[in-house]
Structure 1
Amino acid sequence: MPATDDHRVALVTGASRGIGRAVAERLAADGCSLALGYGQDAGAAEEVVAAVEGLGSRAVPVQADVTDPAAVAALFDAAEEAFGGVDVVVHAAARMSLSPLAEFDLEELERMLRTNVLGTFVVSQQAARRVRCGGAVVNFSSSVIGRVLPGYTGYAASKAAVEAMTFVLAHELRGRDITVNAIAPGPTATDMFLEGKSPEQVEFFANASPLERLGTPEDIANAVAFLVGPSGHWINGQALRANGGLN
């Protein structure tokens, strides 16, 4: 059954940090109950639970490897057991490894592809089976797909696969009033983005946008909230470039 207007349930992966945490807190502020999927950091996940509860909502943290079908099914089970169903799925868990193609360590490439491609497929598969009518699914792509950035070949390829899955799934869910979209952030001030970058590199990326700054996790969370809310429900099968005008 569809959720009532005052009780929507959102499941967010990668919810213990960065964009995933910002999304969880924004959706909690909008009145959603939250199932918070996280990888390893239980302490950080509990901090998000506290933040969600401080916003007047409810949350349950669940450790889940997004590449493990049984673990992801258990994450959805926990959401249904705690709150009665799932209306919104935001798959924010990701991995980014950078290297020129000729030098890329293939074992690391495989790990990244498992998280970004297989993980998106596994989460989307459960979402396709379980999201209630009228709901929304948001995957995470990247604005690097539209740019020529040496060192980003593997990461961009993984995110191009995410967009392909997103577009097809939107059509496969015909008749259920469920939207499926991708958010493609530009450079965003998260630990994953900033790791290993010099101040000069950070300044380069900040100045690439005509707004002359990095995005914030809250910027991206606001875009997600629009897509999964009633105002964004006519947008379906799209990739939203949330990047401050980056080309």
Structure 2
Amino acid sequence: MDPNAFTAPFQATKTLRRDIYPTIAPKNPELSAKGKTILITGATGGLGGEVARAWAIAGAEGIVLTGRNQEGLKEPAEAIASLSPSTRVLCLSADLTNEADVEAIFTKAVSQFGTVDVVLHAAGSMGGGPVGDLPPNAWFSDYEVNVKGSYVLAHYYLKAVAAGTLIFVGTLGASFTFAGMSSYSGSKMALLKLAEYLDTEKPNLRVFTVHPGIVAATETQRGMIVDSLTPFALDKGIQTGGLSLYLAQPKADYLKGSFVSVNWDLDELEKHKSEITEQKLLKLAFLGAKLGIEGHPWSN
């Protein structure tokens, strides 16, 4: 099977990235996180842990690790300590669909670090089953976590800080119509629209949605592994960490409100800033058809 079958058809750039490169390398001085604090949700998973490592390498002042299981936060916390002893770590357990929990994590984070410069939202839910067969509550659970949880997180982040950066972990799966994925892909599509509304209505919040690629198992064997996607899982979790460091910089403002894949080459994207922003190339369109006063330009 073509290992790029679920990647190459979705490229916005000619160059396909599968690993860290200089523009998103955590050791790149231009991506320094000195003096900055990041809060990472889903830090008990492999992707969240890799993002934490990237920010530690970049010299973050503080990293707030959150997850449902406090015990699961020990491994990334220890990794941060070994990579950057000067980085302060705060581990907090929370259910992101619970408003009191989310409000509390921001209260504690701001109390300890003064502010939260960046939130990387890696927590999510991926259920599965045919439409109509799944019990309604089971089907809707993905929306509870992926949409409601994301809204709750954004709401209390906005209450806690004057300005900041919010990075949602999305997926190209939002564009697929695969049997058994209705709740997951539908909820992730709704997340894209939520990000665009936050970008439109909250100018003090820099919002991005990123596709982390199809991530290979990390050395720690943490996170979810989908067996059917293993032949295509060639991306590194730390790519998302490097991309988040890039998006935290003012130079990434041309991508605000947009969907960005770790597989896209940022150097190539930067060459087309004007076209991307003016034509809203990385934001949702209603349909693939070209709607207008004359109707779609049919081929016959």
TM range (shorter): 0.7 to 0.9
Pair 1:244–1:192, CA change in 2 (3 A): farther
**Cα distance between partner residues in 2 of 1:81 and 1:55:** 25
Cα deviations by residue, 1:55-83 (Å, 9 ceiling, x for unpaired): 22111000010001110011111111111
Displacement after TM superposition at 1:125 (Å): 0.7
Are 1:14 and 2:42 matched, yes or no? yes
Pair 1:98–1:192, CA change in 2 (3 A): farther
Displacement after TM superposition at 1:193 (Å): 4.3
Say which structure, 1 or 2, has more relative contact order (CA 8 Å, 6+ apart). 2
Displacement after TM superposition at 1:132 (Å): 4.1
**1:50 aligned residue:** 78
**Cα distance between partner residues in 2 of 1:117 and 1:136:** 18
**Cα distance between partner residues in 2 of 1:53 and 1:30:** 13
Residue range with higher mean Cα deviation, 151-160 or 223-232? 223-232
Taking the TM superposition and a 5 Å limit, the aligned residue runs for 1:58-137 are: 58-133=88-163, 135-137=164-166
Which one of 186, 208, 218 corresponds to residue 181 of structure 1?
208
Percent sequence identity is 25
Displacement after TM superposition at 1:241 (Å): 2.5
- What is the TM-score of this pair, normalised by structure 2? 0.69
SS state of the match for residue 60, structure 1?
A: strand
Displacement after TM superposition at 1:34 (Å): 0.8
**Cα distance between partner residues in 1 of 2:161 and 2:192:** 19
- What is the TM-score of this pair, normalised by structure 1? 0.83
1:173 counterpart letter in structure 2: K
Displacement after TM superposition at 1:127 (Å): 1.8
**Cα distance between partner residues in 2 of 1:82 and 1:192:** 28
Pair 1:154–1:120, CA change in 2 (3 A): same
**2:170 aligned residue:** 141
CA contact (8 A) 2:97 2:152 kept: yes
Displacement after TM superposition at 1:141 (Å): 1.5
Displacement after TM superposition at 1:166 (Å): 0.5
Which runs of no fewer than 5 residues in structure 2 stay unpaired?
1-32, 266-300
**1:241 aligned residue:** 261
Displacement after TM superposition at 1:89 (Å): 0.8
SS state of the match for residue 182, structure 1?
A: strand
1:9 counterpart letter in structure 2: T
Q: Which has the higher strand share?
A: 1
Larger gyration radius, structure 1 or structure 2: 2
1:170 counterpart letter in structure 2: D
Displacement after TM superposition at 1:173 (Å): 1.8
**Cα distance between partner residues in 2 of 1:28 and 1:79:** 17
Pair 1:37–1:82, CA change in 2 (3 A): same
Residue range with higher mean Cα deviation, 122-131 or 69-78? 122-131
Which runs of no fewer than 5 residues in structure 1 stay unpaired?
207-212
Count matched residues: 226
Are 1:34 and 2:63 matched, yes or no? yes
1:120 counterpart letter in structure 2: S
CA RMSD of aligned residues (A): 2.1
Displacement after TM superposition at 1:105 (Å): 3.2
**Cα distance between partner residues in 2 of 1:63 and 1:100:** 32
Residue range with higher mean Cα deviation, 42-51 or 82-91? 42-51
